[in-house]
Amino acid sequence: MSEADDDEMDVRRAVVLDYLAHGLSDDGRPQYAKSPAGYAVGIEDFQLYQVAFDEDERITIGSEIVIEPPAHRDVVTEAHRVEYDDLSSGAQSELEYVVADLVEENEERFVDFYNDAQPITLRLHQLNLLPGIGKKLRNGILDERKRKPFESFEELSERVSGLHDPDEILVDRILEELRDDDLKYQTFVGRREQQQDQ
């Protein structure tokens, strides 16, 4: 692997959830000293960020930005992690749409979750962490994937009786993980870090 490939793997990208041209409301500095700010969600691991933007750049909600490493940033001057409750109301309301878009745009990755999900304990399977998936649906997914891996959300719905909107189920789980940081199992949020720690 070349150095360029190695660098590209460590680049963290995010999607802008809210853009505050006049800075954060809780920033006590005078208006002229504030820089444009906003909130973003990581594309790979759904981490949430508060960011400061370069004053000369015009950013829109839905723009893709580079968070890390600082050397790769073009419009972001600072970024740090925040919790769901720290987001502006605008960012919170945008989050569901952006997560849904990310799941749709990365369909293969998320369909592979259904193909690759494993037991967590003797009694609990990763699939059971998804909202609305009980024993019967889980077994239907496991039986079907033994025959042949799933290739799309549409195929999942067609082959597994009772499994409607498998993409929306994933969006609901991701949002649940973002909103409730006390969940015992994080399946999607922060996965990149968990993999690096192993």
Q: Give DSSP secondary structure letters for 147-158.
A: HS---SHHHHHH
Inform me whether the pLDDT recorded for 89 exceeds 60.
Answer: yes
Which token pair is 163? 């499994």
Instruction: Please determine, looking at this structure, whether the domain spanning 12-87 carries the CATH number 2.40.50.140.
Output: yes
As annotated, the residues of the chain forming the CATH 2.40.50.140 domain(s) are: 12-87
Mean pLDDT of 60-73: 92
- Please give the pLDDT value at position 97: 97
Q: Cβ distance 140 to 163 under 8 Å? A: yes
As annotated, the residues of the chain forming the CATH 1.10.150.280 domain(s) are: 91-179
Which token pair is 17? 């959830």
Q: Cα-flanking dihedrals φ and ψ of residue 118, to 5°?
A: -125, 165
Inform me whether the pLDDT recorded for 151 exceeds 70.
Answer: yes
Instruction: Please determine, looking at this structure, whether the domain spanning 91-179 carries the CATH number 1.10.150.280.
Output: yes
